[in-house]
Amino acid sequence: MRRTLASGRTKAAVFNRVLIRLPVRKGLAVFESHLGLHYSDNPKYIYRELRRSDRPVEAVWSYASSAKGFPSDAKLVKRGSWRYHLALARAEFWIDNQGYPEGLRKRPETTYIQTWHGSAYKLMGLDQPPMKSGPASERTRLARMVDRFDCFLIRSGHDVDTLAKGLGVRSELLPAGYPRNDPLVNGVDGDPELAAEVAALRRSLRLDDGRRAVLYAPTFKTGPKGRPVKLMEPPVDPARFARDLGDEIVLLVRPHYLCRANLPPSAARAMRDVGDVADATLLLLLADALVTDHSSIMFDFALLDRPIVLHLPAGGEHDTGYFDLEEHAPGPVTRTEDELVAALADLDAAGSAHAARRRAFAARFGEHDRGTAARTVVDRYFGERSAHGSHRNR
């Protein structure tokens, strides 16, 4: 009986039949990032703006396993717990970047602000062949989740034509840009709290010896059964990297959150595993250059106008996307370890040669990133209480 009462199915049934009949608590907002993995991404920067502007909001953050790193001035609830379900049922706002549990109905009085977590190169949702040819139940399941959205943030017309269309979004598309990208546009000089976070991260990574920091942040790879490969290898053999580039560059290896980096202890002088850094925005701010594949991180980093290298080894999983990646590449494309080492050995030349393409890339895919996204969202939905009642029933 205890197992039955604690099951997700029981909690969803009680949520949908009982809890959402409780009164909404005005000003209660539930935040979640990457299914409760950590305090990060667009929800973090909306929360910071709410706190900075002193709006009368009662913030609740969900965490999946550990409460470490979450804000001390917010109420914390474990994802999937009864307290989590109660908070969602009574909230005036849901704010997340991926998706709350699919079986939970959203009441009309709750406004769901879906920030998402990156522009799309890879085919998304209904545009994916397995989704098109798969069972109708999967498309119905996606539609049920997406139809809960009241607002969906977009960075560009590209997001409208690809991401929003692929997911089947029918809510308001808010052309605000991404709150997490505000610091990439504005810098951190006017934000002492964020500047302190970046400085602390730089110290913890021992990036104080004059070498350049290059961030390696690819997306995940899939195995034979379509599941993410759990171990991510560095793009260059660590011994070779240390020998050829280690005196000039420190490589910050950032695996996708579904993976972990496979770095030997001997790589420590020239490579750092930054997979446990919750907020990727901090890494972007301190990185002097980016190496990636078709990860959406390239769309964000381009706003900094710093060198980008696309490492696309032959036979990789980057052949199908919404556009020709090589045609629009914001930097040199490398196929082999030798080519990547050569590009990194002369970053200034690579950056200068591709400056115009990089800026065109940023203008195309980040046209709404003006450094005001968090404030736009907060002003739109968290002004006077009477001002956002008309947004709840979309």
pLDDT in tens, 21-80: 999 999 999 999 999 999 999 999 999 999 999 999 999 999 999 999 999 999 999 999
What tokens does 288 get? 């002097």
Q: Which of 287, 353, 296 is nearest to 325 (CA)?
A: 296
H or E element: which one contains 110? none
Q: What is the pLDDT confidence band of residue 81, given thresholds at 50, 70 and 90?
A: very high
Average pLDDT over residues 8-18: 94
Contact 91, 57 (CB under 8 A): no
- Comparing 271 with 6, the larger pLDDT belongs to 271
- In DSSP notation, 43-57 reads HHHHHHHHHHTT---
Kindly tell me if the per-residue pLDDT of 389 is higher than 70. no
Kindly tell me if the per-residue pLDDT of 248 is higher than 90. yes
Contact 377, 113 (CB under 8 A): yes
- pLDDT given at position 231: 87
Q: What is the pLDDT confidence band of residue 6, given thresholds at 50, 70 and 90?
A: confident
- pLDDT given at position 385: 40
Instruction: Determine the Cα–Cα distance for residues 217 and 214; give it in Å rounded to an integer.
Output: 10
Max mean pLDDT range (211-220, 225-234, 317-326): 211-220
- In DSSP notation, 208-234 reads -SSPEEEEE-----B-TTSPBPSEE--
- pLDDT given at position 388: 41
Kindly tell me if the per-residue pLDDT of 391 is higher than 50. no
Kindly tell me if the per-residue pLDDT of 115 is higher than 70. yes
| Arithmetic mean of pLDDT over the chain | 93
Q: Vertex 79, ends 67 and 61: CA angle to 5°? A: 55
Kindly tell me if the per-residue pLDDT of 225 is higher than 80. no
The whole-angstrom distance between residue 350's C-alpha and the CA centroid of its chain comes to 27
Q: What is the pTM of this model?
A: 0.93
- pLDDT given at position 383: 81
Q: What domains can be seen in the chain, in order of their start residue? A: 2-177+371-387 (3.40.50.11820), 188-365 (3.40.50.12580)
Contact 93, 381 (CB under 8 A): yes
Average pLDDT over residues 306-332: 87
Tell me how far CA of residue 59 lies from CA of 19, 46, 151, 393, in angstroms.
19, 11, 19, 22
- pLDDT given at position 34: 96
The β-bridge relationship of strands 25-32 and 249-253 is unpaired
Kindly tell me if the per-residue pLDDT of 387 is higher than 50. no
Per-residue pLDDT reduced to its tens digit, 172-188: 999 999 999 999 999 99
Tell me how far CA of residue 78 lies from CA of 14, 35, 137, 252, 282, in angstroms.
18, 11, 29, 31, 25
Q: What is the pLDDT confidence band of residue 307, given thresholds at 50, 70 and 90?
A: very high
